[in-house]
Amino acid sequence: MPEIRERSGRTLFEDTVNILHFLEADRAAPYAKRQHRDRQIGQGACENILDQPLKTVQCWWQQISADRPGEHNEGNKLIRVRGLVGLAAVVFGLLSGLGVIAAVFQYDGSHPINVVTLIAVFVILQSVFIGTSLLMLLPGQNFLSRALASLNVGAMISGIMHRTLLKSSSSSVFFMGTSDHTQAHNLLLRWQLFSWSQLLGCAFNTGALLGAVLLIVFTDLAFGWSSTLMFETVQFQKLIYLVSLPWAGIWPDASPTQALIEQSRFYRLGAEQATPFIAQSLTAWWPFVVACILSYGLLPRVVLLSISRVFVQRALATLLMDNPQVISLLDRMRTPEVALGSPVLISPEMLLDEEPHAKPNSISGSVPLIIWADAAERFQLLSRLEKDSSVQVSQAYKAGGACSMAEDMETITTLLEKRSDSILIAVKSWEPPLNDMLDFIALLRQKCGDKTQIILFPLGPDLSVADQQEVRIWRHASKRLSDAQLFVEPDL
Amino acid sequence: MNSTPRFAITGHPNKGKSSIVATLAEDETVGISEIPGTTRDAHSYPMCMDGETLYELIDTPGFQRAREMLEWLKNSETSVADRRASLNRFIQEFANDPRFHDECELLKPIMKGAGILYVVDGARPYGSEYESEMQILQWTGQPRMALINLIGGEEHVSEWRRALDQYFSIVRVFDAQHADFKKRIDLLRAFQALDESWFASLDLAIGVLEENRAQRLHRAAREIAELLLAVMCKRESAQLDDENIDLQLQSSLVSKLKDNIREREEQCCDVLQQICGHTKLERNIERNQLLQEDIFSERSFSLFGLSNTQLAITGAASGAVAGGGLDMMVGGASLFLGAGIGAVVGGVSAIFAARQISDVEVLGSPIGGYELHVGPVSDVNFPWVVLGRVVLFYRLVSERNHALRDAIAVSSESANSFSESMNMKQRQVLSDLFKQIREHQLIDSKGMVSLVRQIENLCK
């Protein structure tokens, strides 16, 4: 039976393998990227079918694979593997069918071919095999189903191929399920093995039928019936009647008559040579034999093969749709993509450990003090300097903060009237050194010349000692002015 | 006015503007520099749903020459009604002047309609130098809110409030580094009050963010459930020449099994980080020492697993449920002995099973030869250890603020508290699910739903 193909030409099997394979590798892709990609597809080509999960996933795959043609051939590989196992089953089935019919139809003219043997092989044994196949499908992994599974011919062929020809990990995982089983995977395996068994059954019966027809047409066969058990003819007639029931209405010639049954009984011991009339009647069993192979072998197997194909498709769909990654994929496709933040990465500038810095010369005489942006209350600061340092302040001025630019300029002009080697500027250590402040220093430098050292004196809140990290920031900022006589000194 | 709310985060340099953006935009890539004034250009951080911007945060440079700028504005002002025009003139005139680059950058989005979020540091005293900035922002006439950021404490909050109340219609205290999701949502709600035309967009944004948070939790729980299923079913196999176990091969398979499980856990943690938007966490800081502990180490088992007592109680409870089934079947005729016997058997078997790490078996087939199978890990405590580690990791990452740049702090107590945080019912449901996976190497879709739900509850 041909594989059920989608409109795109791909089979569900191929899609399932490729999608699961892709999603496994896709785990390594950044989550946000996957979310964006899948939502885009969900809003685009697949928008109208988002309520149909299987179609949605297949549509998604169509979009993904279209962007990467030829990349995803895992499904093709596995289709080939599956095809090989199927082919092996067909060849094995045909050959064994031909072999069995050759053995059963062995006729050297001494005794007719025994119909009882034919019934045993092509009716009873076939029914038993079909019955056991059906038993394997019973839910649950009980002892009986496990024991029968080891007898499953499809499983045996698959096992041999797995250990000999098909050593690719993907095929072994997919068909043999050697690791990471899921319930859906087990179900698929079960139906796939069942399907291979039915394929083999079909091939066996086709081989048997073909062999039978060839032998009937091209050789001279005679059929009779004989059993060690002393069957009464009437009993055998009832058995034949029961066996013929399936086709009695549509193919009467394939239902042996009472006369044929009576005439065709033989005993190997003391058998007489058949008359031409009897010999002719003994050939009349062949329609019955063909009907047996058809009705108890080929047709049930074809029906079971068709059913198994449908269930393989269903199991494939379940395997695909029950996969947690596919569930997550659908979730990504259906859920609005929420993006926060900027796609632009900005690398922040960090301070170096401890940048080298120069120390100011010792301050001699009294120096002017500028209190920048109300860094401290004037009298408290003067009193602290007097108490904790050797610095003598000649005059304290205010600049920055609430002062206007004109007032700043005036401060510079005033303080430069009295010449001094150093100028002290008290600043808030916790506030960043703004360009406003640096402009003031640049202007001050311009007015006072290169020789005067300008000392920035960072103060912590309430005149506390400035935090070392803050001092480092001030030192770093002061370097922007490239002023050799500009210092940052928290410890006067 | 544009109906998409836009907010310019403004203020003095180094007062936590970028931290606020990082927190509100859940963006760990926002550059938080130690050096003030390094943000020279405005950067946009939009909140989008399917490409549609619901609101936008704009990180702007801080004021550098506010006094000079204000003087220019005052000099060029003709009337109060002319103030916005003056600002526009300023931008036009100084657009290419590097001296006022920062001022122009910060004012441009505001003059285009962005609301103002003015950030100050509540741990530092108010200063007169802020006045020029606040006056300029007042001149823009745009909706304004002041945020008192608690970078180092709240010592000066009231002082700041008194100053800010004069210039801003709304003043809020906000700890950018420790604000949880609820506080961030509360802040967004406060933004709604700034301009009624933004209400609908922000309302939608809040709904989307809340929904998104629930989805993140669900996705994380699903990811953890997948991890549990994968590592509990993980096995390694190799072909054997005969049915005798090759000890060297067995040892290498055990190592391979452990490596694969470690790798899978690592992969799960990466995805959890990505779900929470903390992709840089791994590069910035080492995952916490406690979580770096090998998953198979004694310490991991003792910290994250259930204690023998907890295992016994959980096993006993599961056994009792099974035994209770027997009682129900016989209509209580067993005088409820079934539940009692079930509990004892369940408890003892749980402790006994805790001593096995992994199964080793040789599977043979007359046709295909022999295979050595190692795994899955059969230790009863193993899924609890995995669950404990990843749930703790998710809790830490999901609660982590995007403004933080320091290491995650995890104490042994928080690891221990994981098993304590589960109630008996949760432990029992999880124990049954683990048993199902262990016994069948699979879980049905109903079981998966239940597992995800349990993990969601633990992750909250």
Contact state of A339 with B37 under an 8 Å Cβ cutoff: no
Mean pLDDT along residues B5-20 = 88
Closest CA to A84 of A173, A175, A148: A175
Nearest Cβ partner for A348 among B32, B222, B237: B32
Whether the model clears a pTM of 0.90, i.e. scores above it, the answer is no
Strand A453-459 relative to strand A486-488: parallel, antiparallel, unpaired? parallel
By the 10 Å C-beta count (0-12 exposed, 13-18 middle, 19+ buried), B169 is classed as exposed
In whole angstroms, how far apart are CA A245 and each of A179, A249, A422, B89, B116? Answer: 48, 8, 124, 104, 92
Please answer whether residues B40 and B61 qualify as being in contact, where contact means their C-beta atoms are separated by less than 8 angstroms. Answer: yes
Nearest Cβ partner for A436 among B46, B66, B369: B66
**Amino acid B393: pLDDT:** 86
**Amino acid A379: pLDDT:** 87
What is the phi/psi pair of residue A458, to 5°? -70, 135
Q: Which residues contact B47 (CB under 8 A, 6 or more apart)?
A: A338, A339, A340, B25, B53, B54, B55, B56, B57, B205, B209
Contact state of B222 with A328 under an 8 Å Cβ cutoff: yes
Alpha carbon distance B126, A437 (integer Å) = 18
CA distance A270 to chain B (A): 46
Look at residue B347 and tell me whether its pLDDT is greater than 80: no
Q: Which CATH number is associated with domain B6-194?
A: 3.40.50.300
3-state secondary structure of B237: strand
Per-residue pLDDT band for A477 (boundaries 50, 70, 90) equals: confident
Q: Give domain A366-488's CATH architecture.
A: 3-Layer(aba) Sandwich (3.40)
Domain boundaries, chain A: 74-329, 366-488
Alpha carbon distance B383, A365 (integer Å) = 77
Please answer whether residues A487 and A427 qualify as being in contact, where contact means their C-beta atoms are separated by less than 8 angstroms. Answer: no
Residue that the structure tokens 């002082």 belong to: B159
**Amino acid B356: pLDDT:** 47
Contact state of B219 with A331 under an 8 Å Cβ cutoff: yes
Nearest Cβ partner for B65 among A43, A186, A435: A435
What pLDDT digit, counting tens, does each position of A227-260 carry? 777 667 788 888 889 999 999 889 888 888 888 8
Would you state the structure tokens that stand for residue A36, as one six-digit string? 């964006």
Alpha carbon distance A285, A427 (integer Å) = 119
Query: In whole numbers, what is the pLDDT of chain A averaged over residues?
Result: 81
Please report the ipTM that was assigned to this predicted complex.
0.71
What pLDDT digit, counting tens, does each position of B63-106 carry? 999 999 999 999 987 788 889 999 999 999 999 999 999 999 99
Sheet of B115-121, strands arranged across? A338-339, B43-49, B52-59, B6-11, B115-121, B144-149, B170-174
Q: What percent of chain B has pLDDT over 70?
A: 73
Cβ–Cβ contact B6 with A under 8 A: no
Domain boundaries, chain B: 6-194, 214-459
Q: What percent of chain B has pLDDT over 90?
A: 31
Cβ–Cβ contact B159 with A under 8 A: no
3-state secondary structure of B227: helix
Look at residue B222 and tell me whether its pLDDT is greater than 60: yes
Look at residue A373 and tell me whether its pLDDT is greater than 50: yes
Angle between helices B445-459 and B424-440 (to 10 degrees): 140
Cβ–Cβ contact B98 with A under 8 A: no
Alpha carbon distance B440, A162 (integer Å) = 24
What pLDDT digit, counting tens, does each position of A43-73 carry? 998 988 988 999 999 999 999 988 776 666 6
Q: Which residues contact A275 (CB under 8 A, 6 or more apart)?
A: none
Nearest Cβ partner for B235 among A156, A159, A179: A179
Cβ–Cβ contact B207 with A under 8 A: no
Residue that the structure tokens 């979730």 belong to: A331
